[in-house]
Structure 1
Amino acid sequence: MKFGVIVFPGSNCDRDAIYVLRDLLGQPTRAIWHQEIDVDDLDAIVIPGGFSYGDYLRCGAIARFSPVMNRVIEHAERGKFVLGICNGFQVLTEAGLLPGALVRNRDRHFICDRVSIRVESDRSPWTRAYRSGQVIELPIAHGEGRYYADAETLQALEDEGRVLLRYCTPVGKLDASGNHNGSCHNIAGITNRAGNVLGMMPHPERASDPILGNNHGRALFTSLLANSAIA
């Protein structure tokens, strides 16, 4: 697969994503400056974490209007893959590629930690290398990561099986103690209806190299590669 990682002013996880995709997984990968518009050669686009445009106005609100984002929307509409991580998830909701919003954490504090995440389904191209119900550990680092949506949207996400990842306790229980930012329904990651767009607040790229002592995030990327091989 050929990957592109978007770089906005203020992105700070772009190099992490490129390292995992290019150096660890051996995939053709290039950085895409936010003013570029030529992405037709790419199979998958990653919108990385960071503080695009300094998070002015609100997280992702300005990045949504970068020239590259119109191409990202077209890329998604063509059925190609888009992954938004942390700030990238915020950008995807601002761009309308995913429903809901990411708002201030429940306790209004920035959280930087490793947390337990439950994989809700192994039928998505993003999670086929996991098991349904598997509990993994991924880093989070955000101040506005609490997923919020109205009751109708939340019900649709549940009914359509679009909640792929949830915050949980180490044994997989869904309760307030495992929901560090207070997200509705413990949501940590969702997809669009087609399943080719994934937004998630945890950082799989920061848990993909065994040298870090945790490679639980690597299977998210290998899931996508395996799906491409099957296709």
Structure 2
Amino acid sequence: MKFAVIQFPGSNCDLDMLHAIRDNLNEKADYVWYQATSLEGFDAVLLPGGFSYGDYLRTGAIAKFAPIMSEVMRFATEGKPVLGVCNGFQILTESGLLPGALIRNQNLHFICKTVTLKVANNATLFTNQYDKEARLSIPIAHGEGNYYCDDATLAELTANQQIVFTYEGENPNGSREAIAGITNRAGNVLGMMPHPERAVEDLLGSADGLKLFQSIVNQWRETNAN
């Protein structure tokens, strides 16, 4: 399986993503520059964290116009896996690939700490290797991670089981219903604020994020078994 790690001006978690895939997952991964116009040969797309375009206007608001995003949107429409982490999540909401928005943390401060996540839905292509309602230790690092959506969107997310991760024990940024990660209705696009790529080996303090990437590979192998 081959992963594309998209690089925008201001990305700073791209190396973490590449390391997680190549060295911990033992799968193929390459950088794809934001000006590229093709994702030919890739099986999954990763939008890393950082500060794309300096977070001018709004987080992710300029990145959605990058040439590569047309390909990412096509990729998603075809049902292929797309994962956006932190700034990547913000880009996915700005692009309309995920509903809702990420706004300033409730306390108006940047937060960098390890939090506890609950796997709210382990029947997705991103969570099939986790136990139901498993608790994970995953770091966060963001200033605009407060997930917001209106009542109708929240009802839809709940009814379709699109809420995949929630914060457990504390809600660090004030996200509605303590939401930490959601999918699109088709289930092939995941956006999350916590950084699973920073929790792929015990040396980093937790390996709880590795199963997320293993889940993607597991689903891909099952789908392409024939």
TM-score band, normalised by the shorter chain? over 0.9
Deviations 1:58-103 (A, max 9, x none): 1000000000001000000011110000000000000000000000
Residue-pair matches, total: 223
Matched, 1:50 2:50: yes
Query: 1: CA distance between counterparts of 2:190 and 2:11?
Result: 18
Letter in 2 for 1:47: L
* Displaced runs of 4 or more, over 3 A: none
Could you state the TM-score of these two structures normalised by the residue count of structure 1? 0.95
- Shift of residue 38 of structure 1? 1.3
Q: Could you tell me which of 177, 190, 206 is aligned with 1:198?
A: 190
Query: 1: CA distance between counterparts of 2:116 and 2:204?
Result: 17
Match of 2:9 in 1: 9
Contact 2:25-2:210 at 8 Å conserved across structures: no
- Map 1:37-116 onto structure 2 (within 5 A): 37-116=37-116
Matched, 1:184 2:172: no
Structure 2: 5+ residue stretches without partners: none
Deviations 1:145-192 (A, max 9, x none): 0000000001100010000000111xxxxxxxx111000011000000
Question: 3-state SS of the aligned residue for 2:35?
Answer: coil
Could you state the TM-score of these two structures normalised by the residue count of structure 2? 0.97
Query: 2: CA distance between counterparts of 1:181 and 1:199?
Result: 16
Matched, 1:140 2:132: no
| Structure 1, 89-98 or 122-131: larger mean CA deviation | 122-131
Contact 2:8-2:33 at 8 Å conserved across structures: yes
Query: 2: CA distance between counterparts of 1:125 and 1:70?
Result: 23
Structure 1: 5+ residue stretches without partners: 170-177
Query: 1: CA distance between counterparts of 2:115 and 2:28?
Result: 30
Matched, 1:208 2:200: yes
Across the aligned residues of Structure 1 and Structure 2, the Cα RMSD in angstroms comes to 0.7
Question: 3-state SS of the aligned residue for 1:188?
Answer: strand
- Shift of residue 213 of structure 1? 2.5
